[in-house]
Structure 1
């Protein structure tokens, strides 16, 4: 299939596979019986230098299904470890393979990974397969996150396999093609620190620097600089999550990237009613990864990353620990600075005043007390159409609103520029849980992908405030039980 592969536009390199073999295992393809392409991301394909028409051919679909390897690929499964709900364990790609890294015309490098492609040496008793519903969920949410301006892995394609997998019930099998700046994780470094030699760990760190932070390669303290860069990226990322009400659901260290991208959309969801204790994941029984805990867990995970780098930070162990602790202590301030800047933008504030934080905290207190919808609160503040929210009919809110208007009046710049700032930072729509479930049900149960296509179209420009988005901003009927998400494994 060399001619077809060339037509498709694959230009793959395998730099990760040049690391010590400790960090991966070569894998054989596990073909499926009847692959069918059900979703292709045309715009992403174009940006990667791929020919969308060729990708839809029989040969193109065979690649997405893991039936054939594209030219230049070297299929591997990556090894890593991780703290899962606080418990450290050996992990690895148990149901994924990495074909390699696509090199774009701008000389950018992106991992091309199949998720649900079959068993690997790291499958730990699992079948290595995935169900259609969770793969479509990842497609919807990751593309929504991209449109919201949040760093994220993306989804290139979803194929059904023509085979069933068994979980609680029999489900249609599927494979997702995931695109990432890389799949280097905090857990990759934990694996290297626990099961590798000092030189193997150093080679991993040097690789991460070369791939993601080449500007620090010549730094005398490049491993400290690596730690600081990852801290900065994660502080900014988690602040962006909080600003749109996104709940990751499974912030294990193996789901925290070195690049600062959001990865793994298993039990994730967006918050409707504002409550910091909100948890959707069926397995998060203690609320470890609740919305309000995400910034704290981010710091905890980064501390584990710092621990893995200790052998590289200084030859003296005590000094190494001191260096790492000092770096980690800066995380919460960075997060808070990112979050506060984002909140000012959501309220149309161009400048800074000492009382801004108190103004913001009072709004959240009111939202919590009156069980206000997170996204729609900022939506109505942006449009000025306050009539539809119960909270806005209270004296407490009137007092807050007057205080906010006075704050706006004190800054330079027009009301129109403040409104535009709010429109640029307050999405009119998010992937509402009931809309996502509606799309998944239609696709999985009835083979009807039109509901998902309409949802994706609306989510592709979340800041548009278009008439087409009105119905997707509406809240669902009050549920008779709490909404729950599942990890999809």
Structure 2
């Protein structure tokens, strides 16, 4: 039973890239959830994590020897407007661990208290965003989406002030790294080429060792983001706040905030309470990803050699490679959802099906999951139109097994998450644990979890989701 052995590399970078700060601590911490599967993946002792010393770390009360305890500096374009200084305002990276397979991961406490980047915030989190991100990120991991992970959720025993007074929480987040497009922007807008070079070298060594130049790194980041967003789209996932500070250069999904999965399908669906003009709607996500990557490219151009005209042309070419990579990944994902290999016929069938779904706002998850068991027709009112589509689809001899491996039967539905949060606020964590268990087996049909696959009743619908601050 040993403490984590931290092996920190980010703190070897120039000190202006982060701030050393201690967590605020928790007056009366209670462990809500410990992700033992993830702990084993990281080579961490679950016995130690459950011990007094482990709980002290997870609650921010005391950190083990070798911890970093830093808030990272970054900037970001938020809804298209540049904020030159953001940074970790309510999160602390407590250190990096090297897993048994040699891969390196950050451990970060979200909701650990004020940092120099907190601006007017208290640096805390209430329990709701902790449980939402825990459920969303672990579901994403279960369906194979690159994502940050949740190691633990802790109730702090403190009350935090939002619109009302609410119970506080801390989530221990695990990531391949927490370096964002906004991290590059922070130094790019300051003309700090030394920091940009150090950051670029660090990212290549950590995430893209095959890259030998900033341009090659950009190519790999663009490809990773194209594949990631295609995977989001195939799940009906809406990130909700795709600011550049919420795009990880590692290609992982990060910062779930107002994220949501669609119930009724419509391409322009928006949930985020702060996205008033649909900038980050489901259908806009690939376009926004390109825009964000263009901001990254702008930061890297000064590192691409003395011929800046050539550097601009090369960077532009790379950013413009996104659509082809995205379309290929989209085809792979969506054709698999209807049991076909990628083809023009498959693309036409997908487009027709999505049009039918949008016309009635049919349930995204239930339609695709129902194709393999014959229940998809029940999701439509215009069944004659669906029957016509189904006739043409079945003529392509779809692979039922492929569909069952591709289409989850349950997702983190907004109303179920809200129910679990409200129960937790009242001191009952059973709905959270039940939902967590079900979402870790998203492709399995189990009668005991059938209700979790159901769409919300009219009075249960959640139409707006919120950031955690």
Instruction: With the length of structure 1 as denominator, give the TM-score of the two structures.
Output: 0.93
- In structure 1, how many angstroms separate the alpha carbons of the residues matched to 2:376 and 2:269? 25
Shift of 1:8: 3.3
Change (3 A) 1:87 1:441: same
Candidates 396, 412, 422, aligned match of 1:441: 422
Question: 1:347-386, aligned counterparts within 5 Å?
Answer: 347-350=338-341, 352-386=342-376
1:148-188 superposed Cα distances (whole Å, 9 cap, x missing partner): 11010001111111211111110111111100000010000
SS in 2 for 1:238: helix
Question: 1:149-188, aligned counterparts within 5 Å?
Answer: 149-188=144-183
1:466 is matched with which residue? 446
Shift of 1:266: 0.7
Candidates 420, 424, 438, aligned match of 2:401: 420
Q: Does 1:341 align with 2:332?
A: yes
1:97 is matched with which residue? 92
Alpha carbon RMSD of aligned pairs, Å?
A: 1.4
- In structure 2, how many angstroms separate the alpha carbons of the residues matched to 1:249 and 1:280? 7
Question: 1:76-115, aligned counterparts within 5 Å?
Answer: 76-89=70-83, 90-115=85-110
Candidates 5, 20, 25, aligned match of 2:14: 20
1:83-122 superposed Cα distances (whole Å, 9 cap, x missing partner): 0111111110011111110112222211000111111111
Shift of 1:424: 0.7
Q: What are structure 1's unaligned runs of at least 5 residues?
A: 1-6, 409-414
Q: Does 1:488 align with 2:459?
A: no
- In structure 2, how many angstroms separate the alpha carbons of the residues matched to 1:323 and 1:28? 43
Q: Does 1:319 align with 2:310?
A: yes
Q: What are structure 2's unaligned runs of at least 5 residues?
A: none
Instruction: With the length of structure 2 as denominator, give the TM-score of the two structures.
Output: 0.97
Shift of 1:388: 2.6
Does the CA contact (< 8 Å) of 1:245 and 1:374 recur in 2?
yes
- In structure 2, how many angstroms separate the alpha carbons of the residues matched to 1:280 and 1:205? 34
2:233 is matched with which residue? 242
Q: Which moved more, 1:174-183 or 1:24-33?
A: 24-33
Q: Does 1:402 align with 2:409?
A: no
- In structure 2, how many angstroms separate the alpha carbons of the residues matched to 1:427 and 1:126? 38
Shift of 1:376: 0.4
Shift of 1:482: 5.6
Question: 1:217-366, aligned counterparts within 5 Å?
Answer: 219=212, 222-350=213-341, 352-366=342-356
Does the CA contact (< 8 Å) of 2:127 and 2:169 recur in 1?
yes
Shift of 1:314: 2.7
Candidates 57, 68, 74, aligned match of 2:68: 74
Shift of 1:481: 7.0
1:343-376 superposed Cα distances (whole Å, 9 cap, x missing partner): 11111113x4323222211111100112210000
SS in 1 for 2:408: coil
Q: Does 1:120 align with 2:80?
A: no
Does the CA contact (< 8 Å) of 1:22 and 1:196 recur in 2?
no
